[in-house]
Amino acid sequence: MSVIRLKGQADRRLRAGHQWIYSNEVNTDATPLKQFSAGDQVVVETAQGKPLGVATINPNTLICGRLVSRSIDTVLNKSTLIHRLKIALSLREMVYPESYYRLVFGDSDGLSGLVVDRFDDILVVQISTAGMERLKQEIIEALQDVVKPSAILMKNDGKMRNIEGLDTYVEEVFGHVPEVVYLKENDVLFQAPVWDGQKTGWFYDHRENRKTMQGFCSGKRVLDVFSYVGGWGVQAASAGATDVTFIDASESALEHVDANLALNQYEGDASLMHGDAFDAMQSLIDDKQRFDVVVMDPPAFIARRKDIKAGEGAYHRANQLAMRLVAKGGVLVSGSCSMHLETSRLHDIVRSNSRQLERFSQLIYRGTQAPDHPVHPAIPETEYLKALFYRVHNNMGL
């Protein structure tokens, strides 16, 4: 294989366990990146010429290399894919009794640029890097060998593909994948729109946080903001909530909410509010509505580091509106999937809102991503999800 040589000291992060190589860490005088094609596999060397392993390369991106092995004798091929898929599968089978989970979570499973969600015998796959795209057929064959699915959908329409210079497409590559697939989470049934929905059609990452939320919902009024297909609110309904309101900007997503309530034979009151979440919450405030449990789980307001200031402003506004809708002694669930928003900063935002609104808030639970989204201890980028639960009361003079 060809070689890329790093600059002095640029190997320190890799030696500590990280798997990414940035373009400014490569000695381009010794090994010009322009000589490589996107998706090539190369041997990575220190500045002194000592081999560190094998990486896939994309010369056109800031993250130009992704380590796939720490041995120069091991490349990423079908055999390696099968081996790592078996390891990934063993973790999920150890944790979950039924086959509804994220089977592959990129770097955390040694498969940077690959995500696979499992809906029983149907797999939805997302490839986000040129290195993985080069191995598309091998990935399909490895999944067939390890999981033996009835169908596989390639949902390759994510923003990362544009950065990598890859085309976007959604393609049925094996078997037949229906417009919606079915899953079970915390003993609650759902249909997920895998062809037209967000990401893979479902978000398994909040599974444990939703389970915790269920414990607060029996006999309560619940508000699910940015509800998508009802992951939080439908589980609240199944846990005994008497009244659940869903807010989402997507009319089709709310149609799936309705279907998911019916799947679980919900007989309580349900309200579907189609429109901008901020406007909808203000409308509920104007109508003097209050809820025992308010779930605020927005999309990533901070997609890139340069978005931090504007994104934190959006989180502040969203949580302030949500807190105004919490009934006395109720629970606010404040979620974030923005990797660039630290948990402590989200807590600061809620604390600031508490003071401004003269509320007495108590942090009662800190949640993170489910075990099928494992955190790689050397790659902080793999730890992204937060769910902070607060009991909110009147100021109490404090």
Catalytic residues: 337
Neighbours of 57 (CB within 10 A): 25
Neighbours of 62 (CB within 10 A): 10
For the record, the structure tokens of 339 come out as: 């990797």
Phi–psi pair at 200, nearest 5 degrees: -85, 0
> In angstroms, how far apart are the furthest CA atoms of the chain?
69
- The Cα–Cα gap between 39 and 55 comes to 9
Helix (H) or strand (E) holding 214: helix 207-214
Query: From edge to edge, which strands make up the β-sheet containing 243-248?
Result: 269-274, 243-248, 221-225, 291-296, 326-336, 386-394, 359-367
CA distances from 112 to 6, 67, 116, 202 (A): 20, 8, 12, 20
Identify which of 335, 341, 390 has the alpha carbon closest to the alpha carbon of residue 368.
335
